[in-house]
Amino acid sequence: MSLFTESFITTLFLGAIAAGMPLLLAGLGEQLSEKAGVLNIGLEGMMLAGAYAGFVVAWSTGSMGLGFVGGAAAGALVASLMVLFCVRLGLNQIVIGIALTLLVEGLTALLHYVQFSRSYPRLDGITTWPIWPLSRIPLIGPILFDQNLVVYFGLALVAGFAWIYRMTHLGSALQAAGDKPAALDVAGVDVFRIRSLAVLTTGALAGLGGAFMSVAAAGVFVPFMTHGNGFIAIVLAMLARGRPLWVLGGAFLFGGCLSLTTALQVAGVNVPTDVIQMLPFATVMLVLLIAGRKASLPQALGESFVRGAR
């Protein structure tokens, strides 16, 4: 079949990575928060903050790298509010999560309007970091080894988290903070500190994912551009049951799903944009229908920890 040309396959896989990367980063972050017992519904807001800040920094400094740093910082900033309200003060995580998402949606749209009015400036070409000589391998080379630095970072992170969860003291502390915070407290570990650390890292990762979206994948910031990606990342984290490798698989499955339609459009098959936008959500619902029962979450998820309370 003529559809499966080399260019089609390259478009498909490059698209899968571009669309899957934000999900991977945010999903890994959410997994970390959930392990520590914080259901981070504000993930969408953290991504969007990262997308906005990343774009603005990259646009004004002309540096993609600084854009990514800015995006991560913005995500962490939103997360610090989550830490203050949910971890420290013990407010309802769901309410605050929704509030933060709405707040970032409103604020970034306002800020974008103040700065750019109704224009949407584009960033210049995307720089990649080819890993020579691997980047010269036909087909695989350009897809896997001629990528943005963030892509390599995200892949390394999967291994890094898997190692932390399985091999380190920090990993078991995280697990305990999510399953039995009181026990962790008795063991002399500061539950608040573990949870705060987890949520801040989540924010930074989600922010980086958002920045990847605006800076590397789209090259432009549009208000509300994360369009539910944060919520999809939450589903990925739920289905992955604490395993980073599953988040990776899920993220690129969704990325591929999104990019398949784009690749089809490139190949000349006309698919309306609204149908494309439905696809990831339809997939999530389908996956939940089939595998939902297997999804699992920590025992004390969503419960704020109060020292000495029974």
Partner 1 sequence: MNNQQTVAPTALRKATKPAGGGGWVWALGISIGPLLAALALGGLVLLAMGVNPFTYYGYVVHRAILSQMGLEATLTRMGPLLLIAASLIVAFRAGIWNLGGDGQFLLAAVAVAAATPAMLTAGVPVWVNLAIGLVIGAAVGALWGVLPALLKAWQGINEIITTMMMSFLGVSFANVLVKLLFLDPTTTTPQTATLPVEARLPRLFGTTVSSGLIIGIVVVIAVHLMMTRTAFGMRLRLVGASPRAAVHAGLSVPRLTIAVFTISAALAGLSGAVDILGTQGNVRADWNPAYSLTVVPLVFLARLNGVGSIAYVFMFSALTIGGESAARKLGVPSFFSLVIVALLLITLGLAEYMDKRRQDRARH
Applying CB under 8 A, which residues contact partner 1? Answer: 41, 85, 89-96, 98-103, 105-107, 109-110, 113-114, 223, 227-228, 231-232, 234-235, 238, 272, 274-275, 277-278, 281-282, 284-285, 288-289, 292-293, 295-297, 299-303
d(CA 71, CA 268): 35
Residue 98 or 131: the one with the smaller Cβ distance to partner 1 is 98
For tokens 């697990």, what's the residue? 175
Residue 51 or 151: the one with the smaller Cβ distance to partner 1 is 51
The vertex-291 CA angle with 213 and 95, nearest 5°, equals: 55
Residue 164 or 198: the one with the smaller Cβ distance to partner 1 is 198
Task: Name the strand (E) or helix (H) holding 147.
Answer: strand 146-147
Cα R_g (the chain), whole angstroms = 20
* 3-class SS of residue 146: strand
Residue 41 or 174: the one with the smaller Cβ distance to partner 1 is 41
Smallest separation, CB 210 to partner 1 (Å): 17
Smallest separation, CB 237 to partner 1 (Å): 10
Closest alpha carbon to 217 in 23, 5, 33, 6: 23
Question: In sequence order, what DSSP letters do the residues of 117-136 get, joined into one string?
Answer: TT------PPP-EE-TTGGG
Residue pair 49/75 in contact by the 8 Å Cβ criterion: yes
Smallest separation, CB 118 to partner 1 (Å): 10
Residue 99 or 157: the one with the smaller Cβ distance to partner 1 is 99
Smallest separation, CB 72 to partner 1 (Å): 22
d(CA 225, CA 245): 27
Smallest separation, CB 200 to partner 1 (Å): 18
